[in-house]
Amino acid sequence: MLTEIKNQFYQDTLETLISIQEVLPETPLEGETARNMVERIFTVSHQVSGTGPMLGFDNSSLLSKKLERTFYEIRSGKRTLTAQLLTQTQRTIQNLLEVLQKEQGE
């Protein structure tokens, strides 16, 4: 059962991250689209950092916490999403994907 949940979690997270990666722009967006994007990244990073350790994705969770923290700040208006941040986010998501795959044993 646990393996199944784990696989499901892994698949879902992978898909979400890839889909985010695909649409992540190079320059900051404005308005509704931007808010949606921030919300999506926050949600997925929140999920990974929360559920990850339970399923053995320890490193992914650590990495994800950083995204979570940063996007929490953006979400609550304490930080602005700059082009530089987008670049770093893109990198970190790529890292997260790799770490996830490593921890899943793929």
What is the number of H-type helices and E-type strands within the chain? 4, 0
Work out whether 63 is an interface residue with another protein (CB under 8 A).
yes
Q: What is the spatial distance between Cα 80 and Cα 55, in angstroms, rounded to a whole number?
A: 33
Cα separations in angstroms, 29 against 5, 34, 48: 35, 5, 25
- Residue 27 is encoded by which pair of tokens? 């320059």
Specify the stretch interacting with another protein by CB under 8 A; choose among 4-12, 34-42, 47-55, 56-64: 56-64
Please name the amino acid found at residue 77. G
Distance from the Cα of residue 18 to its chain's centroid: 9
Site size toward another protein (CB under 8 A) is 24
Specify the stretch interacting with another protein by CB under 8 A; choose among 6-14, 36-44, 49-57, 62-70: 62-70
Kindly write out the interface string for residues 66-105 of this chain, putting x where it contacts another protein by CB under 8 A and - elsewhere: xx--x-----------xxxx-xxx-xx-xxx-xx--x---
- Residues within the interface to another protein (CB under 8 A): 22, 26-27, 59, 62-63, 66-67, 70, 82-85, 87-89, 91-92, 94-96, 98-99, 102
